[in-house]
Amino acid sequence: MKFSSAVGLLLSVALASIASAQTSINQKLTSAGVTALSSPSGGAAITDDLFTKPAKETDHEVGTVVPNAALTVPGPAAQGAPAVLSNAIGFNGISHFDQRTAGTGIYTNSQFSLEPPDQGLAAGEGFILEAVNDALAVYGQRSHTLLVGPTPLNQFFKLRPEIVRSTPPVFGQFVSDPKAYFDPQTRRWFVTALEIDVDPATGAFQNHTSVLLAVSKTSNPTGQFNLFSIDTTDDGTNGTPSHPNCPCFGDQPLIGANQDGFFISTNEFGLAVGFNGAQIYAISKEELAEGETSPVVHLDNLPFPEGIPFSLQPAVTRSLFPRDFDGDDDDRGIEFLLSVPDITLLFDNRLAVWSLTNTRSLKSHHPQLTLAHVVIPSETFGVPNDAEQKAGPTPLGTALGEPEERLATNDQRMQQVFFVDGELWGAVTTSVSQGPNCVTGFESDCKAGVAWFAVRPNFRHDTLHAEVRRQGYISVQGENVFYPSIAMGEDGRGVIAFALSGHDFFPSSAFARIGHRGVGSVRIAAAGVAPDDGFSGYVAFGGAGSGRWGDYSAAAVVDEDNIWFATEFIPGGVRTVLANWGTFIGRIHVDEDGD
């Protein structure tokens, strides 16, 4: 999420706020009308960009990081320098210039400069939908051409413009953390984002928040979408019990789907202070596709004695059938989630596997779901250090008299998860050792890498069990790889995409094939042409030397052979005064020769 002011959170407050028993609440899904993406605006170069929202999140939003003396930095066998993929297929997606200049009508010149460029991606029916920060666009899969957009999220969700640059300025709702998904079962497109009301005169947060949800009316994302919202304020005014530390908001909504439902998980923070743990929202996918305001099952106060329930990543289930796991058949429907047991640990060697059973009941008027979890051993992973960049021109940094910034790699939270052929595939950014000078996790030989997992859940006597079947690390000697996203086909072959940066490379878009035999070589899909030179890392804008990179990347399966992915990199071409980031959208044919 991107903030205009810091969110300070104490671990003691966070721990005290989590109840010991799960609560299930049936909320109302609110309809908010119909929308569609706007036509391209053909924006002009920005020479004056005074209104910004630099992100000031800490890497660990829930409190102080706690060292674990029993675990040390993992030291995988580092791979050689990656080779440029000569037959890479792809194109440049939304850039900071595109996001900043998006908008038509009253939304013209209404966008903030924003970092980090959080990224959502969906692909299907010959289209690609990308959402980055506060803008979204649709492209043709074959033509690689822009079909519609970029459109501001505030315009798409029919909110007030982010800012009307009048005297005095007028502020609109704060929208952030977009995600996107194409569902092959219903042939519908889903877009989510968090929303916080603001004072129109000052831009200060007000006491109402929601998760916004748009669902296409047809299989064509250039057409109309039905708009919905879920109230996440949780202060007793929305028909739900009052939660501690609220009014609250649902940070970084994470999404997944199975044959029955569409699932959203958030991290609930108080608008002023406090953390209430992860929340889960489950909705009938079929009714959403039909434009109906079905009940929303809201699960909170999740029992989790192992730590703070944080960033529970719902899985995208590639099979339409519920019997995709070992053990007792369960025709009632199951959705799985993965998470890190305790985000406050410097290092950990465990994963948390969650199950939501009876998802078939989401189609009824009174859905009833059962949540369970199990914590299992895994390879070691932990807090990554920030990534260095290849030296190059930084016009903004030079003008400010500041050195080239590093790239923030944030923390080891779980990223995108796929459930395929009975296995959950997921990955995290981690610290990896590449030499003798990596001891505490922050010396020169410590780099950012990726830890990946294939986990097989099963039920025995109605009890959830799970084990890690395959796992490993991705590390490139002398470089950093971070913010992974996995997408898997039903045949167990897939792609893991991530950013790559180091002394030898400007920030680039990279990937590796992944499957039952492990991970192939790291390849560069789109090489960066300059260092990141965004405002968020500079002291003059409240930074501390590390620019905010996208908090997550994205990948999506089109069919068993084709997987699209989107990652941030530094392209050439026009930029704004305050930032030069861009995104690359690539396609990999997983059946091609090569590892």
What is the C-alpha separation between 477 and 432, in angstroms, rounded?
10
Give the pairing of strands 479-488 and 463-474. unpaired
Domain coordinates in residue numbering, the chain: 11-22+65-589
What is the C-alpha separation between 39 and 61, in angstroms, rounded?
37
What is the C-alpha separation between 414 and 315, in angstroms, rounded?
11
What is the C-alpha separation between 552 and 409, in angstroms, rounded?
10
What is the C-alpha separation between 573 and 45, in angstroms, rounded?
11
The two three-digit tokens of residue 472, written as one number:
């490993």
Note whether 246 and 270 are within 8 A (CB): yes
Q: What is the pTM of this model?
A: 0.92
One-letter amino acid at 198 equals: V
CA 309 centroid distance within chain: 17
Note whether 121 and 564 are within 8 A (CB): yes
Q: What is the pLDDT of residues 264-295, one digit of tens each?
A: 999 999 999 889 999 999 999 999 999 999 89
Q: What is the pLDDT of residues 351-410, one digit of tens each?
A: 999 999 999 999 998 899 999 999 999 999 999 999 999 999 999 999 999 999 999 999
pLDDT of residue 592: 61
Note whether 15 and 308 are within 8 A (CB): yes
In tens digits, the chain (595 residues) has pLDDT values of 653 322 222 222 233 333 345 767 778 788 888 878 886 655 554 444 444 444 444 444 566 677 776 788 887 655 555 655 545 689 999 999 999 999 999 999 999 999 988 999 999 999 999 999 899 999 999 999 999 999 999 999 999 999 999 999 999 999 999 999 999 999 999 999 999 999 999 999 999 999 999 999 999 999 999 999 999 999 988 777 788 899 999 999 999 999 999 999 999 999 998 899 999 999 999 999 999 998 999 999 898 988 889 999 999 997 644 444 544 445 789 999 999 999 999 999 999 999 999 999 999 988 999 999 999 999 999 999 999 999 999 999 999 999 999 999 999 999 999 999 999 999 999 999 988 878 655 567 899 999 999 999 999 888 999 999 999 999 998 899 999 999 998 888 999 999 999 999 999 999 999 998 899 989 999 999 999 999 999 999 999 999 999 888 898 888 767 899 999 999 988 999 999 999 999 998 877 645 6
